[in-house]
């Protein structure tokens, strides 16, 4: 009876010990983040509870065929037992590893009765060399390529009772769950770290990519913006987040941009592209090419991801190129028209001039002929204005005093302004002259004053003409300013950017050529045309061109409407070549009036025959443009035959590239239509008179 009571008490104590050990092991498993700490607790707590001499946990890796001892506990009361922690080949376990992998159960072996699975080589090693009387192996925490192995060694032989084995299995299950938990925790931690790293890389890419990125929700509110966009727009992140995407859009573009964003929201997954303007923090406007795509936010709502690229400079370049192409096209058009028209004008004005020379002073026919001559001169000036659109048109350079030019046109400007406004002159004293074409400067002034008068139509106002001198730097030199200001209606910003485009006009009967011509004239004089305007408060146009290097003005030579008397010593033979018969006859008549002898040729072939047949030809007057070669080809041919014969080229339109190529062959160039006095002076210089 006493023995039974003792056995029952012993079992109760054993049960309490095992329960306490499992609780202790559970506390370690729950409170630890490291598998090694759990395994250390397992071997020490379970080993102490079982009173074994040595307890260990191996990691059995089947792929590597090794067993790595992860934790080891030695009973302090047994000093003769030594540590064996290390990495061992699976061969020391004999065939037991395969058995435990297959059956997944406990394996025991004693020195007196070794387990058959150990094999002939493992028994001496384990039971003799290592001095193990009894061992117990408990596999747990199985995985695809191995398992953990709980090992107990006893120096003396020991029989393991079912309660002990049950305790071991309970401990192994507890540790298996802890290892799974820790692995899941570690995997989650690795996933979170990878996610954080990915988010950091994405954020870095999002911020550093040289494109503007915006995220907009379904209410068109900005929810995210990258650093590059903030730098380009000049805002801080807090100034944009939470604001409407339409706030930075000019008012006139908001309806369009809102429509594009709504269209994007209505087409999830579809890429939509558009161009629109936006306003920077400093008020400047940029043009952005935008690509938008609707995606789903984490909460399931729709949002738009926008990639925007600043194309402001590209658009300015495209507009400049288009402007240049318009001017080039216009120049080619007017150049061709001017050539034919100048030939007709030459005939008209030439015959009128001849008639005035030959008609008696008392003739009643002089007045209508005089009017025809004046009209032809005005028509010729109109053609020269048209030619101002051609970049190759020559500029007749002479020193011009802008103040004198303004005063000269005062009466005509008064007529242009009429009763609509008061004209005020504000002319700078000691204004330096400019090297310019006076006809083209008159055209600029008339055009600007006419536009100023139109802007104050119907109201009382003022047109102010101002001259001034600027000095930006020693390198730039002095520049002269001709400014025309008005107190009229002003110009809207949308129109202001286009006013210098050819054919652009806001007038009902306008042709859109005036300001385009002004800009071309300014550029061809090495200057600029600037404009400032405020709607409702008027406009100011400023022509800025370089001042002449010489401050003094030469006394202007009066225009001569009559011919010099032909001295008896004249009588030079002059070859005139032109494919326009009527103009050819007029020029021939001019030469006769000069007292010289004209030889007329109506085409290139006839000109060659005449030149070869008359060795006494003193000068050749050649039209630039003719069928079968023209004056350029004839000039080269004549110079090869008789280098001493001077060549004068007549041109109905600008071809500076041709005249430059003939620089060494030509003695003079005269533009059609020309007055007889002008031709007389040119021929006199060519003949050395």
Q: Report DSSP letters for 19-32, one per residue.
A: HHHHHHHHHHHHH-
Same fold, 209-310 and 573-687: no
Instruction: Tell which wins on pLDDT, 3 or 81.
Output: 81
Out of 72-76, 128-132, 418-422, least confident range: 418-422
- Who contacts 407 (Cβ-Cβ below 8 Å, separation ≥6)? 425, 427
- Who contacts 451 (Cβ-Cβ below 8 Å, separation ≥6)? 514, 515, 541
Instruction: Tell which wins on pLDDT, 519 or 413.
Output: 519
Mean pLDDT of all residues in 372-385: 66
The position carrying tokens 């060694």 is: 153
- Who contacts 481 (Cβ-Cβ below 8 Å, separation ≥6)? 466, 467, 468, 469, 470, 542, 543, 544
Residue 366 has pLDDT above 80, yes or no: no
Instruction: Tell which wins on pLDDT, 510 or 107.
Output: 107
pLDDT at 57: 94
**Contact 500/519 with Cβ under 8 angstroms?**
yes
Q: What is the DSSP annotation of 585-625?
A: HHHHHHHHHHT-EEEEESSHHHHHHHHHH-TTEEEEEEES-
The first and second tokens of residue 678, run together, are: 């002008």
Bond before 673 cis per omega within 30 degrees? yes
Alpha helices, DSSP H, located in 83-212:
96-103, 119-123, 162-208
Instruction: Tell which wins on pLDDT, 359 or 56.
Output: 56
The first and second tokens of residue 563, run together, are: 């011919």
**Contact 218/245 with Cβ under 8 angstroms?**
no
Mean pLDDT of all residues in 63-79: 93
Which class does domain 573-687 fall in? alpha beta
pLDDT at 483: 92
Give Dmax (Cα) for the chain.
175
Residue 498 has pLDDT above 60, yes or no: yes
**DSSP bridge pairs for 285:** 279
Query: Which tens digit of pLDDT belongs to each residue from 141-189?
Result: 999 999 999 999 999 999 999 999 999 998 889 888 888 888 888 888 8
Chain-centre distance for alpha carbon 158: 86
Q: What is the DSSP letter of 627?
A: G
Strand arrangement, sheet containing 66-74: 87-89, 66-74, 54-61, 146-154, 134-143, 107-110
Report the distance separating Cα 207 and Cα 616, nearest Å. 84
Report the distance separating Cα 22 and Cα 648, nearest Å. 121
Report the distance separating Cα 93 and Cα 56, nearest Å. 14
**Contact 583/622 with Cβ under 8 angstroms?**
no
pLDDT at 323: 67
Report the distance separating Cα 192 and Cα 186, nearest Å. 10
Instruction: Tell which wins on pLDDT, 621 or 80.
Output: 621
Q: Any idea of the CA torsion for 72, 75, 81, 87, to the nearest 10 degrees?
A: 0
Query: Which tens digit of pLDDT belongs to each residue from 9-54?
Result: 677 888 888 888 889 888 888 888 888 898 998 899 999 999 999 9
User: Among residues 328, 249, 346, which one has the least CA distance to residue 578?
Assistant: 346
Angle (nearest 5°) at CA 388 between 488 and 435: 90
pLDDT at 493: 75
Query: Which tens digit of pLDDT belongs to each residue from 508-541?
Result: 445 556 777 788 888 888 888 888 888 888 889 9
Domain 209-310 sits in CATH at 3.30.450.20
Q: What is the pTM of this model?
A: 0.41
Fold for the domain defined by 2-185: Beta-Lactamase (3.30.450)
CA distances from 240 to 224, 226, 287, 332, 528 (A): 9, 11, 19, 51, 39
Chain-centre distance for alpha carbon 628: 49
User: Among residues 333, 315, 533, 551, which one has the least CA distance to residue 431?
Assistant: 551
283: left (phi > 0), else alpha (psi -120 to 50), else beta? Answer: left
Contacts 24+ apart (CB under 8 A), 676-681: 676/350, 676/353, 676/354, 676/357, 676/563, 676/590, 676/593, 677/559, 677/560, 677/561, 677/562, 677/563, 679/587, 679/590, 680/563, 680/564, 680/590, 680/594
Query: Which tens digit of pLDDT belongs to each residue from 292-315?
Result: 888 877 777 888 888 888 888 887
**Contact 317/341 with Cβ under 8 angstroms?**
no
In angstroms, the first-to-last Cα distance of the chain is: 163
Residue 646 has pLDDT above 60, yes or no: yes
220: left (phi > 0), else alpha (psi -120 to 50), else beta? Answer: left
pLDDT at 386: 61
Angle (nearest 5°) at CA 442 between 437 and 446: 155
Residues found in the chain: 689
Report the distance separating Cα 128 and Cα 131, nearest Å. 5
User: 573-577 and 617-623: which strand pairing?
Assistant: parallel
Report the distance separating Cα 420 and Cα 151, nearest Å. 114
Instruction: Tell which wins on pLDDT, 389 or 603.
Output: 603
pLDDT at 314: 83
pLDDT at 558: 34
Report the distance separating Cα 119 and Cα 362, nearest Å. 151
Report the distance separating Cα 287 and Cα 464, nearest Å. 36
The first and second tokens of residue 558, run together, are: 């009066």
Sorted by where each begins, the domain ranges of the chain are: 2-185, 209-310, 318-387, 398-546, 573-687
pLDDT at 332: 63
Report the distance separating Cα 200 and Cα 192, nearest Å. 12
Angle (nearest 5°) at CA 309 between 304 and 314: 150
Instruction: Tell which wins on pLDDT, 81 or 394.
Output: 81
pLDDT at 263: 86
User: Among residues 561, 583, 562, which one has the least CA distance to residue 346?
Assistant: 583
146: left (phi > 0), else alpha (psi -120 to 50), else beta? Answer: left
Report the distance separating Cα 529 and Cα 520, nearest Å. 9
Query: Which tens digit of pLDDT belongs to each residue from 196-245?
Result: 787 778 777 777 777 888 888 888 898 888 888 888 888 888 888 988 88
pLDDT at 89: 94
Which class does domain 398-546 fall in? alpha beta
pLDDT band for 554, please (50, 70, 90 cuts).
very low
Mean pLDDT of all residues in 596-605: 92
**Contact 500/529 with Cβ under 8 angstroms?**
yes
**Contact 99/109 with Cβ under 8 angstroms?**
no
**Phi (first) and psi of residue 105, to 5 degrees:** -135, 180
pLDDT at 75: 92
């Amino acid at each position: 009876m006493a023995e039974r009571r003792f056995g029952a008490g012993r079992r109760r104590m054993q049960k309490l010990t095992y329960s306490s050990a499992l609780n202790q092991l559970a506390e370690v498993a729950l409170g630890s983040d490291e598998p090694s700490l759990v395994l250390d607790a397992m071997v020490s707590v379970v080993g102490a509870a079982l009173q074994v001499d040595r307890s260990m946990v191996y990691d059995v890796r089947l792929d590597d065929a090794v067993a790595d001892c992860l934790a080891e506990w030695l009973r302090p009361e047994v000093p003769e037992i030594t540590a064996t922690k290390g990495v061992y080949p699976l061969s020391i376990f004999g065939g037991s590893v395969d058995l435990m992998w297959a059956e997944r159960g406990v394996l025991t072996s004693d020195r007196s009765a070794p387990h058959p699975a150990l094999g002939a080589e493992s028994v001496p090693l384990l039971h003799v060399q290592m001095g193990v009387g009894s061992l117990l192996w408990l596999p747990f925490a199985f995985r695809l390529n191995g398992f953990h192995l709980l090992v107990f060694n006893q120096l003396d032989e020991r029989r393991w009772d079912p309660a002990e084995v049950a305790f071991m299995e309970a401990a192994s299950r507890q540790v298996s769950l802890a290892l799974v938990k820790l692995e899941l925790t570690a995997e989650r931690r690795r996933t979170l770290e990878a996610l954080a790293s990915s988010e950091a890389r994405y954020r870095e890419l999002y911020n550093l990519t040289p494109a503007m990125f915006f995220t907009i929700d379904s209410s068109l509110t900005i929810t995210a913006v990258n650093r590059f966009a903030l730098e380009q727009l000049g805002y801080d992140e807090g100034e944009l987040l939470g604001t409407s995407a339409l706030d930075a859009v000019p008012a006139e573009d908001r309806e369009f941009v809102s429509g594009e964003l709504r269209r994007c929201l209505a087409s999830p997954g579809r890429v939509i592209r558009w161009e629109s303007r936006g306003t920077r923090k400093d008020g400047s406007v940029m043009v952005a090419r935008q690509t938008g795509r609707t995606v789903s936010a984490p909460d399931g709502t729709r949002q738009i991801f926008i990639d925007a690229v600043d194309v402001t400079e590209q658009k300015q370049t495209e507009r400049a190129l288009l402007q240049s192409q318009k001017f080039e096209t216009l120049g080619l058009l007017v150049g061709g028209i001017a050539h034919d028209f100048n030939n007709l004008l030459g005939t008209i004005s030439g015959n009128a001039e001849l008639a005035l020379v030959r008609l008696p002073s008392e003739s009643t026919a002089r007045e209508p002929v005089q009017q025809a001559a004046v009209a032809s001169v005005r028509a010729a000036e109109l053609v020269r204005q048209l030619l101002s659109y051609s970049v190759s048109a020559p500029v007749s350079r002479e020193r011009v005093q802008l103040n004198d030019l303004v005063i000269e046109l005062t009466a005509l400007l008064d007529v242009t302004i009429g009763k609509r406004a008061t004209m005020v002159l504000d002319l700078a004293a000691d204004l330096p002259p400019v090297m310019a074409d006076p006809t083209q400067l008159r055209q600029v002034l008339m055009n600007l004053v006419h536009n100023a008068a139109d802007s104050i139509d119907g109201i009382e106002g003022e047109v102010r003409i101002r001259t001034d001198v600027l000095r930006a730097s020693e390198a730039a030199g002095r520049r002269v300013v001709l400014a025309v200001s008005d107190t009229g209606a002003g110009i809207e910003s949308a129109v202001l950017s286009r006013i210098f485009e050819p054919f652009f006009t806001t007038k009902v009967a306008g042709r859109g050529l005036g300001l385009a011509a002004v800009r071309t004239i300014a550029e061809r004089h090495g200057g600029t045309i600037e404009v400032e305007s405020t709607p409702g408060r008027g406009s100011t146009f400023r022509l800025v061109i370089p001042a002449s290097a010489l401050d003094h003005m030469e006394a202007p030579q009066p225009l001569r409407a009559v011919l010099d008397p032909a001295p008896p010593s004249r009588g030079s033979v002059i070859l005139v070549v032109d494919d326009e018969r009527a103009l050819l006859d007029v020029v021939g008549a001019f030469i006769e009036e000069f007292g010289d002898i004209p030889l007329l040729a109506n085409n290139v072939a006839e000109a060659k025959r005449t030149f070869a047949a008359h060795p006494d030809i003193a000068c050749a007057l050649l039209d630039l443009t003719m069928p079968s070669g023209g004056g350029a080809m004839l000039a080269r041919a004549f110079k090869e035959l008789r280098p001493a014969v001077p060549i004068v080229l007549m041109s109905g339109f600008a071809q500076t590239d041709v005249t430059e190529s003939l620089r060494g062959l030509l003695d003079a160039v005269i533009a059609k239509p020309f007055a007889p006095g002008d031709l007389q002076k040119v021929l006199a210089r060519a003949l050395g008179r």
